Amino acid sequence: MNKAFRDALFHQDMAFYEEIKGHSDEEKALRFNVYRNNVYVSLIDALADIFPITQTLVGEDFFRAMAREYLQQNLPKSPIIREYGGTFADFIRAFEPSQSVAFLGDIADLEYKLLTLTHAQEFTPLTHEEVSAAFNHTTDPAKLLIRLSPNTQIMLSCYAIGSIYLAHKQPSEQSLTQLDINNSEYLLLSKSFIYAEMHVISEAEASFVQRLMQDKTLEAAIPDDDTFDTGASLAKLIQWQLITHVSEAAT
């Protein structure tokens, strides 16, 4: 984008006005402001589409005012509109008027991560039968390496953002009034075929997944936690279609 045009568009710089046809600066400003307003509205609409739950939590008026402040300080760097807003979560965390909703930045972070995962490369998971066959063909399952989709991510928040997210996506299953928002949560983010998915998991399950992602054997990945159920956790990874490869560790 031409620098003079961009400065005029986002910073009220009048240097570009000489390129605009009009009988006076006032007429030029009026014409350009119509275009400027359309650009602002389009970018704010894009942020509202990317962060729908964030907007719901604070209301449309507050969200759009906050989004306008954000775009004045963070110009688009890509013509691909879905790539805009990568720093919106950090902006919200530092935005003084949003401090009363302490978890808002984490919600925005989660929404952007899920959007990014939705557009990420897809990886073919193993079926339940293929995983079972790999376990049946080894003499020592503890030494197996279980590789997960590269799209798999673990996210930790000091707030119950996963439950908040699900309460908005599936309002009939969980009510916000039943949540303790100040409960920290571990989230597993992944992409299953077309769309990104999010699951609230335990700290032990998060540790297990992270160790598998570090190429530790099944035995080494199991956390030192008496409540951890290895079989149930593996069943979840199969159900969520995250396992892409199972092999025996080199001896």
Q: 204 is written with which tokens?
A: 């032990």
What long-range pairs does 61-64 form, CB within 8 A, spacing at least 24?
Answer: 62/97
Only one residue has tokens 């928002």, namely 181
pLDDT in tens, 222-247: 999 999 999 999 999 999 999 999 99
CATH class of 128-248: alpha beta
Task: Report whether 134 contacts 246 (CB < 8 A).
Answer: yes
Task: Report whether 191 contacts 169 (CB < 8 A).
Answer: no
pLDDT in tens, 159-197: 999 999 998 887 665 566 778 899 999 999 999 778 899
The structural domains of the chain, with segments of one domain joined by +, span 3-118, 128-248
Q: What is the pTM of this model?
A: 0.83
